[in-house]
Structure 1
Amino acid sequence: MTRAGSMRPRVCALIVLGAVLEPGATALAARADEVNDYPTAARSEYVFGCLKANGETRQAIDQCSCSIDVIASLLPYDRYVTAETVLSMAQVRGNLGGQFRSSEQANSALNDLRRAQAEAEVRCF
């Protein structure tokens, strides 16, 4: 059987499955988009940093991947970006960094991220 010939049954099965699932598939895809609003690059960056902090083992990959999934389920991506920006800018010396260290909005965003990280720690590690 040629490669194209062996693919036909699979393609037909997917088309039939898609036709059967179509009514609910749209709602499922919408929910998946809501939960998975973190870009792949942001998830990867988090996992790489987490791996560095927790040892670069297979178990750490699973735990770190779980961790960002939990955080993404609890914290909208725009709030995550705000907290990450605050963490980064708070390291800047002088007046600019001081504004990020003392702002009530910055502290609120950081607290949200820390709560999500704590929950991820409980669930994944």
Structure 2
Amino acid sequence: MRAVILTALIVLAVCATGQAQAQSAADRLNDYPTEARADYVFGCMATNGRSSDVLRRCACSIDVIASIVPYDKYVEAETVLSLQQVGGERMSIFRTTAMAKELVASVRRAQAEADILCF
């Protein structure tokens, strides 16, 4: 089972790398669907407060993240983070593999840069 999951992650990474290189910077800035941006802003506002200033800062934050991390990588990292919350031996692959850790780390680095620029 681990080999199948690991193989699937590798295939996703290879495909995503090729697609990311083919996209222009403008395409990457606009590849986050409105629903994903809104979901991020709602979560950000739940954490930081519900004011118009926080709304502006949270919107800025997802814009910065979108400029750094392609949407497919963002989705992969969010999926890994979600799977890391599930207990059990089978899910440990999402907590221990270098690829899973790097996916999450790339989004966290982008969030840290967004925090610096927007908050």
Structure 1-normalised TM-score? Answer: 0.73
Inter-partner Cα distance in structure 2 for 1:117 and 1:102:
22
* Secondary structure at the counterpart of residue 56 of structure 1: coil
CA RMSD of aligned residues (A): 1.3
Aligned pair partner of 2:54 in 60, 68, 73: 60
Gaps of 5+ in 2: 1-23
Inter-partner Cα distance in structure 2 for 1:123 and 1:56:
19
Return structure 1 stretches of 4+ with deviation > 2 angstroms.
Answer: 30-34
Aligned pair partner of 1:40 in 34, 38, 62: 34
Match of residue 73 from structure 1: 67
Match of residue 45 from structure 2: 51
User: Given residue 100 of structure 1, which amino acid in structure 2 is its aligned partner?
Assistant: F
Q: Offset of 1:99 from its aligned partner?
A: 1.3
Judge which range, 33-42 or 86-95, deviates more: 33-42
Matched, 1:87 2:81: yes
* Identity within the alignment, %: 53
**Larger relative contact order, structure 1 or 2 (CA cutoff 8 Å, min sep 6):** 2
Inter-partner Cα distance in structure 1 for 2:84 and 2:117:
28
